Amino acid sequence: MRSSLESLAPELIQQIGTELGNDVTKLRLVCKRMSAVLESHILRSIAIDITKNRLDTGISQLTTLATQSSDAAAATFELHIRNLCPSMDPSNNLTGYVFESDKQEWVEKAPSSHPPEVKNAEEKMLAMLHVAIASLSNLQSLKWNVGQLDSKWTPAAVVDAIKTLPSLKSLELVLEDVTSGLELDSLRNLESIKIFGPNNYCFSNIMEPLKLLIANSPNLHTVHVGPAYSYGDGPATTLHHLVKHCPSDRVLPLKDLGLRSLFVKLDNITLPHLQHLTSLTLLNVRTVKIGSDALSIDDGEISHPDAIWATLKAINVHLNEIDVNDGCAAFLDYISSYSGLKKLRLAPNNFSTLEESDLAATCFYGCSLGKHVSSLEELSVSAPFEGGWCFGDRALVVISQCRKLKLLEGSLVSGSFKEPPDDAVKSLIDLTTQLPRLKKLIIHPSNLECFRWARCGNPMISHFQWVKSQLSRCINKYEATGFFEPVPLIVVDERKFVTLFSASTSGVVLRYQCDSDEPKKSNYW
């Protein structure tokens, strides 16, 4: 086997390395030739992670990057900066606070002196961080977690380094706190910009340079920006502000736009940049000005989601991918106006009554979704409350026609599986035997309707736990019948169920077994 591998052409070995992904490190151990040929795969994507519990590893890696040969540096195309904080202990989430029994509250710790090894690491990082990043001459993609506890000088140092990189095309920032020193306007010619954060205060110092960065990037095809949560009296911005510095004779070739907790309006200022959109994310679109920081927002720059979808329909923008948390009538009318949608993530959170919600759900499953059954590859319907949006009989009929589906996500009405024979769970899994390309089914709980205006979360938590336990029980009981195989992977909360053959009184049958836990998703996006 070893001699056969050694005889392969370098191009074939490289292809094998690409298919192996993270396991390519094992193939490098076969021999010196494998190690040399596959070195570029190891260096293609690297991460910088400097914290108190890995000082030696982090500083050693930084030293290697700062002193490596130009050939090795040129092999790196992707960089992820996770932490730049020698004093931070990731295992202690309350590093900066201490509980005072007299006050009965958590208070911020008084600054303390750092041990010598932390100070030494800080000095080495100060000397080598810029050199290490600037050496990556072919770097194309940077993901950067701008940490709340990172050393204060690091933002300016990183930006100074990356602005020297001629091939950088993609920038993704995860902001943990209000950050200064991010002079994004010094960057040029990016093609993808993604900036996430927990709240709008994290964006207070970044919006102005971001507008100039967008104006300095004529080939920009991807923009995702906005906080996970927006507080009414915090800084705010609009789609107008993001594109206002673009020259009047330049149209951005945007294909993928994601806006969260921002004001949005489509008009003669913004529309020229959106004519070629194929993917749109609109989450928590703001429609009301609250607080002093929102006074700078002009009423002419704000519109209701209804107007947004009506405008997209009017100018014949046919999206392939949509992620929204508003199932308004205008949105349903929009997706009913064309065919070809491939990915749809819908969280219909905008309804105040069961009647309004169920009426929209009837329209969605009865008309809108049917326009896309021949093209849809991913469908996620996150019903906040049990009702018409859950996967009931009407939904299953139209979903069964989506023969290209690879991923399906949604909820069931919990009352349908309180007692055997658990028809709702069985019917949903049976449905997957009709979807030959389906690889993953995600089932999650929804709230009971009686909790719509609940002030206490304990009953909801108890309901969610009960639903997840019942779903697990029903999945464990399921046995495949006939010659058609159901979906190979089902996820409930963070539990993964995979198919396996097992013996039974009727012979060998296909069942599900809990295999492992899913990694938690990001809280930001």
Structure tokens at 77: 């195309």
Q: State the number of CA atoms in the 13 A half-sphere of 184 facing the CB.
A: 25
Residues of the chain with pLDDT under 70: 1-8, 10-30, 32-43, 70-72, 92-99, 104, 108-113, 231-236, 287-301, 303, 418-422, 482, 504-507, 517-525
Segment 369-407, tens digit of pLDDT:
999 999 999 999 999 999 999 999 999 999 999 999 999
Q: How far is CA 506 from CA 91, 200, 509, 510, in A?
A: 50, 59, 8, 12
Residue 72 phi/psi, 5-degree rounding, is: -65, -40
Please give the Cα distance from 14 to 123 (Å, whole number). 39
Helices 458-477, 423-432: crossing angle, 10 deg rounding: 60
Please give the Cα distance from 275 to 221 (Å, whole number). 12
Q: Where are the domains of the chain?
A: 1-43
Do residues 156 and 130 lie in contact, with contact meaning Cβ atoms separated by under 8 Å?
Answer: no
pLDDT at 17: 57
CA triple 89-525-440, angle to 5 deg: 105
Do residues 261 and 227 lie in contact, with contact meaning Cβ atoms separated by under 8 Å?
Answer: yes
Candidates 393, 470, 465; CA nearest to 430 is 393
Please give the Cα distance from 500 to 508 (Å, whole number). 10
pLDDT at 513: 92
Three-state secondary structure string covering 286-340: ECCCCCHHHCCCCHHHCCCHHHHHHHHHHCCCCCCEEEECCCCHHHHHHHCCCCC
Segment 135-174, tens digit of pLDDT:
999 999 999 999 888 888 999 999 999 999 999 999 999 9
The set of residues, in sequence order, having a beta carbon less than 8 Å from that of 338 and lying 6+ positions away, is 316, 318, 371
Q: State the number of CA atoms in the 13 A half-sphere of 65 facing the CB.
A: 29
Q: Where are the alpha helices (DSSP H) in 95-249?
A: 116-134, 154-162, 207-215, 239-243
Report the amino acid identity of residue 6: E
